[in-house]
Amino acid sequence: MKYVGIQTQIRRNNVMSVLLLLMFPLIILGTVWVFLAILNFFGTGTYDAYGNVQHQLDLATVNSYFVSTIPWVILGVGVWFAIAYFSNSSMIQRATGAKPLTRKDNPRVYNIVENLCMTCNMDMPKINVVDDPQLNAFASGIDKKSYTVTLTTGIMDLLSDEELAGVIGHELTHIRNRDTRLLITSIIFVGIVSTVMSLVVRIMYNTLWYGGGSRRSSSDGKGNGLSVLVVLFVGLICCAIAYFFTVVTRFAISRKREYMADAGGAELCGNPLALASALRKISGDPGLDHVNREDIAQLFIIHPDQMSTGIMGFMDSLFSTHPDTAKRIEILEQF
């Protein structure tokens, strides 16, 4: 693997962060335009000489409505992103059930983190622990105040000092390379689209079973109920397309970042074989599957094998940012 210095990696991640910040809003705005265009095309029509309905897209009307919605879309996405961006630490902590760990709670783990930070001359991040007998770890945060390394109780109990140092070194490298900031940016935007999709599905369900046209006595009422369902269905299709493109865009976050973090962890602990051994143990019993959040699972050192279920889980695993664990171990054993 071609060597890439840490400063080069940081610059690449900063550029990718900016591109993601631009790409995701563009995808959302593009979806809004497509939604308006479809409604315009099928919502209006004229009859020809044979009595058939002829649909035609009125671009001027679509663009007019689109321009008027742009400020609202940007405002909504901006507010949502700002809230999620600055509350990401508490959100991840609640989702994983993590609790702070101090030197008094576990001097062994605290000292390993502190020594590794001194080795690479970086500020000490927060340390969190999740009560999970299985093994996993991840880094999170967007700045020095929120950078955190989270470990399960299982990984602390079952790994040797050298193996644990390799894992922690891997997570510290993610922080040093600004990988966590990049991943959290993508998590927020994918979360916006998936939440809107869930909302549309819920509204469709309620409209169909509780508020549809069948409850109305007049034919006009039934027509209105059907129209609502059609609009919601079009919205759902557009959201699904947007979700696909946001997941693909997240896939653009190169899997080489995990290889870079492995290399950094091996360098910090001074023993590549120890990190390879740790990855082998973690892959045999990966924890944190109770989190049930594929977006947050992208942060984990190894993806839980019992988390991906359903179409969303299949899509997320298909475009996972993590490379094959066996390949990672093979590369580390070649050092």
Number of separate domains in the chain: 1
Catalytic residue among 162, 163, 171, 294: 171
Cα distance between residue 279 and residue 301, in whole Å? 8
Helix (H, G, I), strand (E, B) or coil at 136: coil
Give domain status of residue 288, yes or no: yes
Q: Scanning the structure block, which residue is given the tokens 């922690």?
A: 168
Average pLDDT in the 20-41 region?
A: 78
- The verdict on pTM exceeding 0.85 is no
Res 259 pLDDT > 90: no
pLDDT band at 160 (very low <50, low <70, confident <90, very high): very high
Question: For residue 114, what are the domain limits?
Answer: 86-335
Give domain status of residue 6, yes or no: no
Give domain status of residue 35, yes or no: no
Q: Is residue 294 flagged as an active site residue?
A: no
Long-range Cβ contact pairs of 252-257 (< 8 A, separation 24 or more): 252/16, 253/16, 253/20, 253/182, 253/183, 253/186, 253/321, 255/321, 255/322, 255/323, 256/1, 256/4, 257/9, 257/13, 257/174, 257/177, 257/179, 257/321
pLDDT in tens, 82-134: 887 788 888 899 999 999 999 999 999 999 999 999 999 999 999 999 999 99
pLDDT band at 50 (very low <50, low <70, confident <90, very high): low
Res 53 pLDDT > 90: no
Give domain status of residue 144, yes or no: yes
Lowest mean pLDDT among 98-107, 154-163, 230-239, 266-275: 230-239
**What pLDDT shows up at residue 99?**
95
Give domain status of residue 142, yes or no: yes
Give domain status of residue 73, yes or no: no
Give domain status of residue 269, yes or no: yes
Give domain status of residue 184, yes or no: yes
